[in-house]
Amino acid sequence: MADDFRHLRLDRDARGVATVSFDVQGAPVNVFNDEVIRDLGQVVERLERDPPRVVAFRSAKPSGFLAGADVHRIRRLESEPEVRAVLTAGHGLFDRVERLARDDAQTRLGLPEVTLGLIPGWGGTQRLPRLVGLRQALRMILEGTALSATKAAAAGLVDRTAPPDDFETAVTRFLDEVPAGRPVRRPGRGLLGAVFDGTGPGRALVFAIARKRVAGRGRDYPALPAALRAIEAGVRGPRAAGFAAECDEFVRVVFTPAAHNLIEVFLQRERARSRSTWVPGGPQPVPVRKVAVVGAGVMGAGITQLVALAGVPVAMKDVADEIVAGGMKKVESLTADAVGKGAITREAAGAAQHNVTATTEWGPLAGADVAVEAVVEREDVKREVFRQLAEALGDSAVLASNTSALSVTRLAAVTPHPARVAGLHFFNPVHRMQLVEVVRGRDTGDGTVATLVEFVRKLGKVPVVVADSPGFLVNRILFPYLDEAVRLVLDGVPGEEVDRAAVRFGMPVGPLELLDQVGVDIAADVSGALAPLRGGDPGPAPERFAAMARDGALGRKAGRGFYEYRGARRGRPTPWSTPTRPRPVPRGSGAGEFGEVQKRLIYPMINEAARCLEGGVVGEAWVVDLAMVLGTGYAPFRGGPLRTADALGVVAVVRDLDVLRGAYGDRFGVATILRAKAGDGRGFYADGAPVREHEEVRR
Ligand code: NAI
């Protein structure tokens, strides 16, 4: 017997098992929207009228169970009563269900709302602590981290797991057992759990620690303290009070600028992952069944590992046996790390390793559909590699360069089919950075772009298509900021203060520490390659980098750069970030504004972002913003540099830049498009950016 709703199907069988299957129409993954909630409400009503012994909720989609609430719907929420209505509808529905999860690499269980600037709004802050214990619930909700099926079972979030092959049998067995009254065994919490989750003083301590942890970040990410308050209300008070607190806290955060910007970033990421964004109605991508990677260094090994993990055979080539062996070691250790972190299973790791061939010859590369070149950043070497690749791979392969700053158009020119050549700029470390720039050279064909965009998606990354110009998009915008950090030290501001100013703005690390991570030698190359954008004047940074290189202060990999390092741990500043002259730079300015140091760091990025738009490196503001958030960690709650300009007000930004230009010279000259936006009083986004209520001075 089956009842069909638009998005759900209700089946009952002779054992008294009712199965509700989710298949949300018009969506690739199951999400909760108003219609689904309505369907579900009707299903529950029907079940209540004629209760079965067990209800099983499952997905009829291969893409998994449920991705959560429809983010588009959240974005359209306009008023507090509307928000409350949606929350109440959800609260009414989600009551206790037994939990069985498919144990494969794709299964992730979590409450990722804080990554959207929200808190769980359908009872998650109330139910999760009861299910998995207070400490685990705080970790999951405040960090937005998801658990694999196995970890979720260990935590008590799911009752049982079953591997994909055995899933249907396991579901049937489970459904038979539940009506038979066999109790589900929940994991114990251990002594620590009993103390911290089970006693008043224990819980008070856990909350105190959590409050301290989110304290500094609450202004930028108001969802963190809000989630904490909701959880605390649920743990300390009666059930109804907890749910009411959750509702109030959700209402409090849903209209904040942070939630607006983080939701935008989420939707932009979805948009970037859609091929039609980049090649509307264009040619179909070529399926990638084999990949060649040339260069087994830091980037080559990282890319090889990524491709292998995506299930695609990959041949990695370098010039000498010992280098190839070193590359293989890197691939293996990246894979082992992923297993260690629980990101992939041991079986998946074995399969990935099996996909890799390492070689010093061109022969094994034959038959690859895509080649990624990641050899040293020298044009003569890369040109030779492209010539050889074109010969070894034949006419139909797509050839891509991972160059940071060389011209893709010039590399393409040495091959017989420049239409099949493009840039494919991964970021370091490859396994962690979500962004990949797909660089369109002058002659790159739409088919090539389509193939590479699809390839990047398959690797689980986010593609942005950019034009071929020095530094492409992200480095071009990032380096004026890094350069300015170096200038600030030369102008007398201690490096630690420079970094602190950037972190207070919302950057994950300061610019000097970032330079240490990138490597001062690599930074020197990129910074030099960008000089043409500055009228040929490279400024003092490249020379400073060269001096550091002579001193062996190459950054983290050398144990010393702008800071000292012990392993990955940052230590004291070195003389390279210690000024030798007194500071002329003022410490801050009036309330409601950024300090001078912050302005000197952030405004060059805003200005260069505007220039990228003006020069057609990309077509729309959102692409710039998304790329900067994903490629550099640019303060996500601010939504990107152009969003920042809108939030500060383009008129104010232009006024400030004019002042900076007067004080420091032409490098602060206002981008034409920025002045034009200021002229007509509108920002980069039609929806306008919500202005932060109290933009405090951050010193
Ligand atoms: P790396 O120095 O670690 O590796 C380069 C590898 O290329 C070396 O193993 C070298 O033996 C090999 N090689 C040199 N000539 C070759 C040839 N003719 N055939 C085959 N292999 C050859 O350099 P890394 O950092 O991996 O950079 C590679 C490329 O990626 C460069 O173009 C760089 O600009 C770019 N890139 C680097 C990033 C980084 O942060 N390291 C970030 C993004 C791009």
Nearest C-alpha neighbor of 660 from the set 592, 581, 571, 597: 597
Nearest C-alpha neighbor of 520 from the set 483, 545, 552: 545
The verdict on whether 404 is a catalytic residue reads: yes
The encoded tokens of residue 661 equal 């230009």
- Cα atoms in the 13 Å half-sphere on the side-chain side of 617: 26
The predicted pLDDT at position 174 comes to 81
Indicate which atom in ligand 1 lies nearest the CA of residue 518: 40
The three-class DSSP label of residue 566 is: strand
Catalytic residue among 148, 355, 404, 407: 404
The verdict on whether 91 is a catalytic residue reads: no
What is the rounded CA–CA span in Å between residue 401 and residue 425? 7
DSSP secondary-structure letter at 123? S
pLDDT surpasses 50 at 692: no
Question: Lowest-confidence range among 47-51, 346-350, 381-385?
Answer: 47-51
Mean pLDDT on 425-436: 96
The predicted pLDDT at position 417 comes to 96
The encoded tokens of residue 410 equal 């010039």
Question: Lowest-confidence range among 63-67, 164-168, 272-276, 585-589?
Answer: 585-589
The b/e string for 659-692 (b: 16+ C-beta within 10 A; e otherwise) is: ebeeeeeebbebbebbbebbeeeebbbeeebbeb
The verdict on whether 373 is a catalytic residue reads: no
Cα-to-centroid distance, 650 and ligand 1 (Å)? 40
Indicate which atom in ligand 1 lies nearest the CA of residue 320: 11
The verdict on whether 475 is a catalytic residue reads: yes
Indicate which atom in ligand 1 lies nearest the CA of residue 404: 34
Nearest C-alpha neighbor of 118 from the set 685, 631, 637: 637
Query: CB pairs under 8 A, 24+ apart, for 92-95?
Result: 92/41, 93/37, 93/40, 93/41, 93/44, 93/122, 94/122, 94/123, 94/127
Nearest-CA residue for atom 43 of ligand 1:
427
Which residue from 321, 322, 376, 386 has its CB within 8 A of the most atoms of ligand 1, so it is best to mutate?
376
The predicted pLDDT at position 143 comes to 93
pLDDT surpasses 60 at 95: no
Nearest C-alpha neighbor of 636 from the set 215, 274, 257: 257
Catalytic residue among 437, 454, 484, 608: 437
Taking the complete model, does pTM exceed 0.85, yes or no?
A: yes
Nearest C-alpha neighbor of 470 from the set 533, 413, 563: 533
CB 402 within 8 A of CB 426: yes
> Tokens 């980037």, residue?
299
CB 396 within 8 A of CB 422: no
The predicted pLDDT at position 532 comes to 84
The predicted pLDDT at position 182 comes to 64
> Tokens 């200005």, residue?
607
Mean pLDDT on 293-304: 97
The predicted pLDDT at position 688 comes to 52
DSSP string, 604-631: HHHHHHHHHHHTTSSSSHHHHHHHHHHH
User: 286's torsion region: left (phi>0), alpha (psi -120 to 50) or beta?
Assistant: beta
Mean pLDDT on 371-379: 95
Mean pLDDT on 451-470: 97
pLDDT surpasses 80 at 46: yes
CB 386 within 8 A of CB 415: yes
Identity of the highest mean pLDDT range in 6-20, 36-50, 642-656: 642-656
- Cα atoms in the 13 Å half-sphere on the side-chain side of 84: 7
**pLDDT tens per residue, range 252-277:** 999 999 999 999 999 999 999 999 99
**pLDDT tens per residue, range 569-586:** 999 999 999 998 776 656
pLDDT surpasses 90 at 173: no
The predicted pLDDT at position 4 comes to 77
The predicted pLDDT at position 588 comes to 53
Report the chain's mean pLDDT, rounded to a whole number: 90
Catalytic residue among 475, 527, 577, 607: 475
Please list, in sequence order, all residues whose beta carbon lies within 8 angstroms of the beta carbon of residue 518, skipping any fewer than 6 positions away: 428, 555
User: What's the 3-state SS for 354-374?
Assistant: HCEEEECCCHHHCCCCEEEEC
- Rounded to 5°, angle at Cα 92 from 85 and 42: 95
The predicted pLDDT at position 99 comes to 64
**Is residue 137 within a helix (H) or strand (E), and if so which, with residue range?**
helix 134-143
Please give all residues whose beta carbon lies within 6 A of any atom in ligand 1, as ranges. 294-300, 317-319, 323, 374-377, 381, 385, 402-404, 426-428, 518, 522
What is the rounded CA–CA span in Å between residue 169 and residue 614? 59
Mean pLDDT on 655-663: 96
Indicate which atom in ligand 1 lies nearest the CA of residue 405: 34
Mean pLDDT on 23-52: 87
Q: Which residue has the higher pLDDT, 384 or 48?
A: 384
Radius of gyration of the chain (CA): 27
Which residue from 375, 382, 424, 436 has its CB within 8 A of the most atoms of ligand 1, so it is best to mutate?
375
pLDDT surpasses 80 at 472: yes
What is the rounded CA–CA span in Å between residue 230 and residue 215? 16
pLDDT class for 179, splitting at 50, 70, 90? low
The alpha carbon of 202 is separated from its chain's Cα centroid by a whole number of angstroms, namely 35
pLDDT surpasses 70 at 39: yes
Cα-to-centroid distance, 569 and ligand 1 (Å)? 25
Question: Lowest-confidence range among 189-193, 435-439, 462-466?
Answer: 189-193
> Tokens 């251990």, residue?
190
The predicted pLDDT at position 452 comes to 98
pLDDT class for 184, splitting at 50, 70, 90? low
The predicted pLDDT at position 96 comes to 44
Nearest C-alpha neighbor of 635 from the set 677, 605, 660: 605
CB 530 within 8 A of CB 475: yes
